[in-house]
């Protein structure tokens, strides 16, 4: 990608303190994010994939500043946003919006659809009066919701329709970047496809950048430009879609890909089976964090932590000692 | 940036098939049909309230007028509920006693709700305050509320106002704890995070997203408090630590009739029935309100 980066994340860390109880002394830390770096350009989709607990959602929330980063830098369009104070932070929020996973808890049950979509517009003073109504109506058309839904409450809608309301809310302030935190994971397959298509249509039209957090590789392959694979708070591989799905480098990526179901029982595949569970992010393994489950583990992996290095064409990077010099 | 917003999109088709329009029905009939408990509780409570307001016009006599010659008369045409051992008309006393009970119930519910809501919101939103305030509340809650009220009454002296304060202090921790719990669970909700992400300021988040969702459990709790405050007032009066004996209250009437209850049970019976019915009415109302206030529980739409 040669376009200038809209979002740049540099060695971002988020360590949650484990409180031991009454006096609040730290018993240790959960290393939810441990040095994550990537860039995202205008109009691009970057998917973040990984098992549950690997820090995907924390990454999204940290960029949104719903969670304060422990260390590292976040740049949005040339402005550093990880240390903004409340006033400037609010202005930043206009440009970065979010669509959450659960379409049932992400909408206030006591607000009408109109008020939900209008809230960010009013917050940023973007419109009022009849202009506000026009704008809400236009957003509802945009996400293909009927206009007579405006005066209804969220519980009167299906999951897919609710997710459309959530998307309309995210579009409302005219954001450049939308973080989709498992935005389609809670939906039925057919609805999932509709929402994914809606998202990519909107991206094409509005030039939105999407940070698409997901564990569903089939969906990711359908809509993304680039993919970042996370494992225990770190990005282990980052590549464009074609490269990652055809020539994955990191053993973890290969294992993930081999776990994607293929709808043809006659195809024999070589499954890379992983042993054991994800280690605890409280005490991550030394060296390469994946060494406890890696089928190709070497002595070097246990002591030396691999860094992201170029391994293929088109900017494929991977953090693995395998066939390294 | 708003050019895309207009014109190029046709309006999406209406929802007709998915969500049929609501049937038109008489407003009153529909309300009774949907919320029978609110109607029953509300009507009962309205009757009691009317009794309290119009007490002097409901064929009552002076509830404190003594008539030693006409002591402990059984109910008759002249004395509908009979007379007590000082010859006072129990009917008049019960009707006037409604005032004290309702006033104490409503005042305690209002006072403890407002104070408890405030404490609960603060504890739920300000982390360092949480530990301190909630431990104090736990401490207050560990004392049986009636004992706490008795202690305060002994400290403050007998008056209706002090009864309200004493019972409120015992009830505030319950509200505060409830509100704090609701606030803590609400602030983790995705829609609150979405509101933060869309730039809503904290006071507005509390006002728009936290408070409305706190109100339903609060109102249920308030009606419960109202009912239990009436009972507590009666209890305090019964043991002589509540409303001063010069003011007729249901607790006082029962306390005075206690010694005679085996031979003249009507002295205790009438105020007890009124107390039970009033408490029932308030509880029915609260129960109905909880259903009505929760949009997700709106069943028979």
Q: Which residues of B fall within a CB distance of 8 Å from A173? A: 198-199
Report the chain A residue with the minimal C-alpha distance to residue B197.
Answer: A93
Residue ranges in chain A whose pLDDT is less than 50? 1-2
Q: Is the pLDDT of residue B115 over 90?
A: yes
Q: Which residues of B touch A138 (CB under 8 A)?
A: 5-6, 9
Using CA coordinates, name the residue in chain B closest to A112. Answer: B295
Among the partner residues B5, B13, B213, nearest to A135 by beta-carbon distance:
B5
Residue A225's pLDDT is 92
**Residue A110, pLDDT score:** 85
- What is the rounded average pLDDT for all residues in chain B? 85
Structural domain of B110: 26-296
ipTM of the complex: 0.84
In B, minimum Cα distance to A139 occurs at: B5
What is the spatial distance between Cα B165 and Cα B155, in angstroms, rounded to a whole number?
Answer: 12
Given a contact cutoff of 8 angstroms between Cβ atoms, the answer to whether A140 and A166 are in contact is: no
In-domain check, residue A147:
no
pLDDT digits (tens, 9 = 90+) for B16-61: 555 556 666 677 888 888 888 999 999 999 999 999 898 888 888 8
- From B1, B6, B196, residue closest to A138, measured CB to CB: B6
- Whether A62 maps to a domain, the answer reads yes
Element housing A47 (H / E): strand A45-49
Nearest-Cα distance to chain B for A8, in Å, is: 19
Chain B: nearest CA to A144, how far in angstroms? 6
Of B11, B194, B212, the CB nearest to A169: B194
C-alpha R_g of chain B: 25
**How many structural domains comprise chain A?**
1
Instruction: Say which CATH number the domain at A310 has.
Output: 3.40.50.300
CB contact under 8 A, B197 and A97: yes
Of B11, B191, B295, nearest to A106 by CB-CB distance is B191
A119 within some domain: no
Answer whether residue B151 shows pLDDT above 50: yes
Which chain B residues are closer than 8 Å to A142 by Cβ?
4-5, 9
DSSP letter (8 states) at residue B79:
S
CB contact under 8 A, B191 and A152: no
What mean pLDDT do residues B84-89 have?
84
pLDDT in tens, B161-207: 999 999 999 899 999 999 999 999 888 888 998 998 888 888 889 89
Assigned domain for A167 exists: no
- For residue A264, what are the contacts with CB-CB under 8 A and spacing of at least 6? none
Residue A255: domain span: 5-95+175-262+269-318
Under 8 Å between Cβ of A185 and A209: no
For range B117-128, the mean pLDDT: 89
A194 CA to chain B: closest CA distance, Å?
A: 15
Q: Is the pLDDT of residue B93 over 70?
A: yes
Show residues of chain B in contact with A153, CB under 8 Å.
295
Report the side by side order of strands in the sheet with A309-310: A96-99, A177-181, A209-214, A45-49, A226-231, A234-240, A317-318, A309-310
Whether residues B14 and A108 touch (CB distance < 8 A) is answered with no
Nearest by CB to A123, from B2, B14, B198: name it: B198
Q: Find the CATH number of the domain harbouring B283.
A: 1.10.3720.10
The C-alpha angle with vertex B236 and arms to B233 and B238, in degrees rounded to 5, equals 105
Q: Considering the domain boundaries, does residue B13 fall inside one?
A: no
Cβ-defined contact of B191 to A101 (cutoff 8 Å): no
A152, two tokens: 């209804």
CA pair distance B49, A307, nearest whole angstrom:
76
Residue B9 lies in a domain: no
* Inter-chain CB proximity B190 and A124 less than 8 Å: no
Q: In sequence order, what are the residues at sequence separation of 6 or more whose Cβ sits closer than 8 angstroms to the Cβ of residue A177?
A: A6, A7, A40, A76, A95, A96, A97, A208, A209, A210, A211
Mutation for testing the B interface, residue in A119, A143, A207 having most B CBs under 10 Å: A119
Q: Mark out chain B residues that contact chain A at CB-CB < 8 A.
A: 1-2, 4-6, 9-15, 19, 189-191, 193-201, 208-209, 212-213, 295-296
The span from the CA of B277 to the CA of B101, in Å, is 12
Residues A31/A233, Cβ–Cβ less than 8 Å: yes
The per-residue pLDDT for A24 is 57
Does the residue A309 lie in any domain? yes
Residue B15 lies in a domain: no
Number of structural domains chain B divides into: 1
Q: Which of A64, A110, A123 faces B200 most closely, judged by CB atoms? A: A123
Chain A residue numbers with beta carbons less than 8 Å from the beta carbon of B194 are 98, 100, 106, 166, 169
pLDDT of A3:
54
What span, in angstroms and rounded, lies between the C-alpha atoms of B77 and B70? 14
pTM value?
0.78
| Domain-located, residue A324 | no
DSSP string, A258-323: HTS--S-TT------PPPSPPPPTTSPPSSSTTTTT-TT--HHHHHSPP--EE-SSTT-EE---TT
pLDDT at residue B212 in the model: 86
In a domain, B57, yes or no: yes
- Partners of B196 on chain A (C-beta within 8 Å) are 66, 93
The DSSP secondary-structure symbol of B4 reads G
Report pLDDT digits (tens) over B268-293: 899 999 999 999 999 999 888 887 77
B301 min Cα distance to partner chain A (Å): 11
What is the interface size between A and B, counted as CB pairs within 8 Å? 100
Residue B301 has pLDDT above 50, yes or no: no
The alpha-carbon gap from B192 to the nearest alpha carbon of chain A, in Å, equals 8
Are A317 and A38 in contact by the 8 Å Cβ rule? The answer is no
Assess contact for A115 and A199: CB atoms under 8 A: no
Chain A: give the shortest CA distance to residue B27, in Å: 19
Beta bridge partners of A227: A47, A239
What is the token pair recorded at A105? 């808890």
**Closest chain B CA to residue A122:** B200
Query: DSSP states of A220-266 as a string?
Result: HHHH-SEEEEEETTEEEEEEEHHHHHHS--SHHHHHHHHTS--S-TT
In the predicted structure, residue B1 carries a pLDDT above the cut 50 = no
């Amino acid at each position: 990608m040669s376009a200038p980066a809209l979002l740049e994340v540099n060695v971002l860390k988020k360590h949650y303190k484990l409180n031991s109880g009454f006096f609040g002394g730290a018993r240790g830390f959960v290393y939810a994010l441990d040095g994550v770096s990537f860039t995202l350009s205008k109009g691009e989709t970057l998917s973040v994939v990984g098992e549950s607990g690997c820090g995907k959602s924390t990454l999204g929330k940290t960029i949104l500043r719903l969670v304060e980063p422990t260390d590292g830098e976040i740049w949005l369009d040339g402005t550093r946003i990880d240390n903004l104070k409340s006033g400037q932070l609010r202005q930043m929020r206009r440009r970065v919006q979010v669509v959450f996973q659960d379409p049932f808890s992400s909408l206030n049950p006591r607000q009408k659809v109109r008020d939900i979509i209008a809230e960010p517009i009013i917050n940023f003073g973007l419109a009022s009066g009849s202009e506000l109504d026009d704008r809400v109506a236009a957003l509802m058309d945009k996400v293909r919701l009927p206009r007579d839904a405006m005066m209804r409450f969220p519980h009167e809608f299906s999951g897919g329709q609710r997710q459309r309301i959530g998307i309309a809310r995210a579009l409302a302030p005219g954001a450049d970047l939308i973080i989709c935190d498992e935005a389609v994971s809670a939906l039925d397959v057919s609805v999932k496809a509709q929402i994914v298509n809606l998202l990519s249509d909107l991206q094409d039209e509005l030039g939105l950048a999407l940070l698409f957090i997901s564990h569903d590789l089939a969906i990711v392959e359908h809509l993304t430009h680039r993919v970042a694979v996370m494992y225990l708070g770190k990005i282990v591989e980052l590549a464009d879609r074609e490269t990652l799905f055809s020539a994955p480098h990191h053993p973890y990526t290969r294992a993930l890909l081999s776990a994607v179901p293929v709808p043809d029982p006659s195809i024999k595949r070589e499954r890379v089976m992983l042993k054991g569970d994800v280690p605890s992010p409280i005490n991550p393994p030394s060296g390469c964090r994946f060494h406890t489950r890696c089928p190709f583990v070497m002595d070097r992996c246990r002591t030396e932590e691999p860094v992201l290095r170029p391994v293929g064409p088109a900017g494929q990077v991977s953090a693995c000692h395998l066939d390294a010099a | 940036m708003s050019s895309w917003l207009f014109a190029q999109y046709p309006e999406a088709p209406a929802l007709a098939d998915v969500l049929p329009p609501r049937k038109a029905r008489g407003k009153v009939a529909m309300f009774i049909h949907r919320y029978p408990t609110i109607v029953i509780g509300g009507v009962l409570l309205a009757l009691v309230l009317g009794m309290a307001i119009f007490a002097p016009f409901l064929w009552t006599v002076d509830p404190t007028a003594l008539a030693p010659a006409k002591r402990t008369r059984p109910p008759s045409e002249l004395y509908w509920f009979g007379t007590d051992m000082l010859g006072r008309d129990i009917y008049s006393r019960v009707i006037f006693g409604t005032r004290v009970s309702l006033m104490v119930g409503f005042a305690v519910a209002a006072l403890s709700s407002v104070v408890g809501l405030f404490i609960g919101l603060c504890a739920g939103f300000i982390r360092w305050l949480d530990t301190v305030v909630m431990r104090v509340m736990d401490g207050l809650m560990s004392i049986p509320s009636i004992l706490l009220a008795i202690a305060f009454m002994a400290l403050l002296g007998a008056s209706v106002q002090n009864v309200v304060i004493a019972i409120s202090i015992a009830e505030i921790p319950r509200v505060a704890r409830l509100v704090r719990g609701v606030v803590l669970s609400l602030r983790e909700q995705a829609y609150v995070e979405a509101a933060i992400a869309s730039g809503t300021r904290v006071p507005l988040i509390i006002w728009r997203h936290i408070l409305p969702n706190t109100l339903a459990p609060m109102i249920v709790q308030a009606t419960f408090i109202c009912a239990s405050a009436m009972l507590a007032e009666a209890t305090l009066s019964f043991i002589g630590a509540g409303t001063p004996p010069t003011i007729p209250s249901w607790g006082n009437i029962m306390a005075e009739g206690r010694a005679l209850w085996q031979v003249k049970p009507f002295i205790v019976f009438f105020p007890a029935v009124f107390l039970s019915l009033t408490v029932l009415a308030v509880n029915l109302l609260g129960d109905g309100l909880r259903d009505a206030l929760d949009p997700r529980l709106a069943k028979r739409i």
